[in-house]
Chains A and B, each alone.
Chain A
Amino acid sequence: MQTADVIVVGGGMFGSAIGYGLVAQGLDVVMLDEGDVALRAARGNFGLVWTQSKGLGVQCYQEWSRESAHLWHDFAAELRSETGIDVAHRGGGGLELQLGEAEVEERKRFIEKMRNQAGPEGFDCEIIDRAEIQKMLPGVRLGDELAGASFCPHDGDVNPLLMLRALHSGFTKRGGRYLTEARVETIRYDGGAFVAETASGRITAPKILLAAGHGAPRLGEMVGLSIPIRPQRGQVLISERIAPMLPACISAVRQTNEGTIQIGNSKEDVQYDDGTTLAAVRRMARRAVQFFPQLAGVRLVRNWGCIRVLTPDGAAIYDESESHPGAFVATSHSGVTLGAANARHVAKWIATGEAQPGFERFSARRFDVQAAA
């Protein structure tokens, strides 16, 4: 039997960022990964560090996303110096493009709502016109229907696969133990410690973090944590590498640091089916070409589906069990954006109990049915 200070269940974006932060706090950590049968959101995501669309109706999440986007600047530099891996963080602001005036108007209304709910730091996001878009994308031919874009200076992107590799590398370099093919079957609380029975043996620790995406709700029930998440599929298209043409960071059509054009903006309710469909490929590719007609001649080389983790209000859940103190959950969509805050703030909270002001608002207890008056 292995022992540790903390067991992290899940080796995706949430588990590895928090696990990386926990070993930096000086703790002995075992990270358990289910293996390649898992629904690996961390291997299929888009790579945006994105705030402009996050947190409508949940002000604390709006602030939390921005906090993490700010932390990313130092965090990317730290990952590079710790691991030698450059995650290609680009933080100069991001664009979401709109086709036609109706989409622009809808975006304006959304920005207004976000601004009205924002706290003292406000909400920095503006609609810009074609001339301003063109200035950010010099030399690119803009489609006739491209009517405007929302620009937020806090947004950016990273290479998500390199981010995951850097987190794993930093975790193991700092002494963390990563076990794969280690699906957790059961968790029980036994004499002051949690005992996780896994496919690769038994691990025990006084603290356990559930960061296993869609694998977490089943385990949450064993330690008194309610984790009300649902699946949503997103599909991604990957092009051949082409010479840099999109220097600005764009939400649905992103050019990576290595030249790939990555296209993705689908949302499908198909349970846990991570397959692909021609209809979604066609829709996404057409929209990309409406933005940038030059993409019509670019070859797509891959397409995949990936299952998002969505909470009822779209904001992250961070919680500690009332019935089983020491059992934690951390889960959400947006594992890339939240990576820096997870590594810094959430790891500190799990290690020491010290949390950012207002952090308790991320408890899943916010979803409990209110008593009638």
Chain B
Amino acid sequence: MFKRLPDAPAETVILDFDGRRIEARVGDTVAAAVLAAEPGHTRTTPVSGSARLPYCMMGVCFDCLMEIDGVPNRQACLVTVEDGMIVRRQIGIREAAE
């Protein structure tokens, strides 16, 4: 669905997205990298459970919430990819820490 711009950087990093190995470009946000990998959805909402994808891509809508390197509810559109990152769909509401 999404195509990269012709001048996108060529250098790549590898992410783990829900156990699937995906390739991202250096400088991508996690949200952009995951969208490029056609994820289906990236979270379900805490109230109604409906499936969502990143939407505004600028830190406002909170529809891109994902678990990144073990931290739940991060705004994936505000996090830049790093090689070896572990990214999970945010499924529903998170628990408080013990």
Question: What is the interface of chain A, defined by CB distance below 8 A to chain B?
Answer: 141, 240-243, 245, 258-259, 294-299, 301
Contact = CB atoms under 8 A, between A and B. Distances in A.
Contact of A301 (B62, B94, B98): B62
Contacts of A240: 65, 73, 94
- 3 pairs of A and B residues whose beta carbons are closest in the complex: A297-B97, A294-B96, A241-B46
Contacts of A242: 93-96
Contacts of B1: none
A297 B97 CA distance: 7
Contacts of B47: 241, 258-259
A243 B96 contact: yes
Contacts of A299: 73
B72 to A, nearest CB: 8
B46 A259 contact: yes
A243 B73 contact: no
A232 B63 CA distance: 34
A259 B96 contact: no
15 contacts: A240-B65, A240-B73, A240-B94, A242-B94, A242-B96, A243-B93, A243-B96, A259-B47, A294-B96, A296-B97, A297-B96, A297-B97, A298-B96, A298-B97, A301-B62
A225 B93 CA distance: 50
Contacts of A245: 96
A258 B46 contact: yes
Contacts of B98: 141, 294
Given A240-B65, A240-B73, A242-B96, 15 more contacts: A141-B98, A240-B94, A241-B46, A242-B94, A242-B95, A243-B95, A245-B96, A259-B46, A259-B93, A294-B96, A294-B97, A296-B97, A297-B96, A298-B96, A301-B62
Contacts of A295: 96
Contacts of A141: 98
Interface in B80-98: 93-98
Nearest to B72: A240
B96 to A, nearest CB: 5
Interface string B21-42: 0000000000000000000000
Which of A240, A245, A294 gathers most chain B CB within 10 Å?
Answer: A240
Contacts of B97: 294, 296-298
A134 B73 CA distance: 28
A243 B73 CA distance: 12
A229 B69 CA distance: 51
A188 to B, nearest CB: 45
B96 A241 contact: no
B98 to A, nearest CB: 7
